[in-house]
Chains A and B, each alone.
Chain A
Amino acid sequence: MSASNLPDSAVLRGLTQRRLGRRDALRISGLSALGAALAACGVQGKAKPGAGASVAPDAVAKYWTGKAKVGHVDFANWPLYMDPKKPELKTFTKETGITVNYQEVIQEMGPWFAKVQPQLAAGQSIGFDLMVITNSIQFAQFRDSGFLAPLDHSKLTNFKENAAANYTKEAYDPGNVYSVPWASGMTGIAYDENKTKRPITKLADLWDPAFKGKIGMFSDTQELANFGLLKLGLNPDKSTSDDWDKAAKELKAQKPLVRKYYDQSYIDALGNGEVWITQAWSGDVFQKNLSDGTNFKFVIPEEGGTLWTDNMTIPITAKAPVDAITLIDFFYRKDIAASLANFINYVCPVPSAQAVMVADANKLTGKDKTAALEVANSKLVFPDDDVYSKLHYYVSFANVEDQQTFQKTFEPITLG
Chain B
Amino acid sequence: MNRVKRQLAPYFLVLPGGLWLLLFFAIPMIAMLSLSLQQGDVVYGYRFTFHWQNYTDAITGYHDQLIRSLIYAGIGTMLLIALAFPVAYWIAFYGGRRKPTYLFLLLLPFFVSFVLRTISWRQILTDDGPVLHPLKQIGVLPDSYHLLGTPMAVIGGLVYNFLPFMVLPIYVALERIDPRVVEASRDLYASPALSFRKVILPLALPGVFAGVLMSFVPMASDYVNSEVLGSQSTTMIGQVIQHKYLQTSDYPTAAALSFILMAVLLVGIFAYARALGTEDVMKVAAR
Q: Give the tally of cross-chain contacts (CB within 8 A).
A: 145
Q: For the complex, what is the distance from the CA of A405 to the CA of B27, rounded to whole Å?
A: 32
* Contacting residues of chain A (297-348) with chain B, CB-CB under 8 angstroms: none
Distance in Å from the Cβ of A54 to the closest Cβ of chain B? 15
Q: Does A398 contact B (CB under 8 A)?
A: no
CB distance from A228 to the nearest CB of B (A): 15
Residue-wise, chain B 191-214 has the 8 Å CB interface mask toward A (1 for contact) of 000000000000000000000000
| Cβ-based interface call for A392 (8 A) | no
Does A273 lie within 8 Å of B127, measured CB to CB?
yes
Residues of A within 8 A of B248 (CB): 110, 114, 407, 411
On whether the beta carbons of A258 and B232 are closer than 8 Å, the reply is: yes
Determine whether B34 belongs to the interface, using a CB cutoff of 8 Å to chain A: yes
Determine the distance from Cα of A29 to Cα of B18 in the docked complex, in whole angstroms.
6
Q: Check A293 for interface membership: any CB of B closer than 8 A.
A: no
Measured in the bound complex, the distance between the Cα atoms of B250 and A363 in whole Å is 54
In the complex, chain B residues whose CB is within 8 Å of the CB of A28: 14, 18
**B146 contacts the other chain (CB 8 A):** yes
A126 within 8 A of B: no
Which range holds the interface residue count of chain A? 35 or more
Residues in B with CB closer than 8 Å to A287 are none
Partner of B26 from A33, A45, A407 at Cβ < 8 Å: A33
Contact, CB under 8 Å: A43 / B43: no
Considering the chains assembled together, what is the distance between the CA atoms of A28 and B21 in angstroms? 11
Are the C-beta atoms of B33 and A45 separated by less than 8 Å?
A: no
Contact partner of A259 among B10, B43, B149, B247, CB < 8 A?
A: B149
* Chain B residues with CB under 8 A of A44: 45
Q: Is the CB of B18 within 8 A of A404?
A: no
Instruction: Kindly list chain B residues whose C-beta atoms are within 8 Å of the C-beta of A407.
Output: 248, 250
**Which residues of B pack against A, CB within 8 Å?**
6-7, 10-11, 14, 17-19, 21-22, 26-27, 30-31, 33-35, 37-38, 40-48, 61-62, 64-65, 68, 126-129, 143-144, 146, 148-149, 231-235, 239-240, 243, 245-251
24 A-B pairs with C-beta separation under 8 A = A33-B26, A37-B27, A38-B34, A41-B31, A41-B34, A42-B45, A42-B48, A44-B45, A45-B41, A45-B43, A45-B44, A113-B249, A141-B42, A145-B42, A213-B144, A258-B232, A259-B231, A261-B231, A261-B232, A274-B126, A274-B146, A415-B243, A416-B65, A416-B233
